Amino acid sequence: MLVKNQKTIFDHVNLCRYLGKFAAVLFRLTKWSIEGSKPNQTQSVVVAAPHTSNWDFFITLGMALRMEVKVRWLGKQSLFKWGMGPIMRWLGGIPVDRSKSSGLVEQIANYFKTGGQFSLVISPEGTRSKSKQWKTGFYYIAKHANVPINLAFIDHKKRIVGFGSTFQLTESPELDLKNIKEFYTPYL
C-alpha cells in the first residue's frame, strides 16, 4: 500500500516553494490566514479537524505548502480512480480500501519506522459530516510509530487555519483522546 519511493509534490523543493507562494496569494485573496508555527518534528501524525467540507483538503494542503511541511494523507480508494490516482499520489495521497480490514495502523506505523521526513494528516471524523464520534486510528498510528501528534485546525467562521500544540502521548489513551478533543472544542 505505502510506496516508499513514491515522489510527492513535497519532494520537489523548488516547485513546493513556488506553490507555497501561490498558496499565500490565494489565502490573501480569499481572506484566510494561517496561525501557529511549523512543527519542528521530522515525523508526526497531524490531526486536522473539523473536516466538514471538500475545501478543507485544499486549505490544509495550501497551509502545508506555505509552511513547508511535508505531508502525506489518507483518502478513500475511490479518489484514486479515473486517472486521478497519479495526481492524488503526487499530492501526498495514500489510498485506503475501507471495505476490508487490512492492518492499516500497523502498515503506517511501520512506514514511519523506515525513516524519512513526513507528517501524516488524518481527519479523525473519517467523513466530511459533523460527527461526535471520532475514529481513533490516528491515535494508534502515532502510538505504534512512537511519534507525536500535531493538532491542526480549521476555523471556518474566522477563516483561520493553523497548527496548535504538539501532543505527546501518555500511557492513558482515554485521557489523551479526551485532551485532544478538548483542544478542538472551539472549532466544532
Q: What is the pLDDT of residues 135-184, one digit of tens each?
A: 888 999 999 999 999 999 999 999 999 999 999 999 999 999 999 999 99
Whether residue 94 contacts residue 118, with contact meaning beta carbons closer than 8 Å, is answered with no
pTM as predicted: 0.88
What is the Cα 91 distance to its own chain's centre? Answer: 12
User: Distance between CA atoms of 129 and 53, rounded to whole angstroms?
Assistant: 8
Whether residue 117 contacts residue 151, with contact meaning beta carbons closer than 8 Å, is answered with no
DSSP state of 5: T
User: Which grid cell sits at 18?
Assistant: 513556488
Q: What ranges do the domains of the chain cover?
A: 9-187
Q: What is the pLDDT of residues 31-56, one digit of tens each?
A: 999 999 999 888 999 999 888 888 88
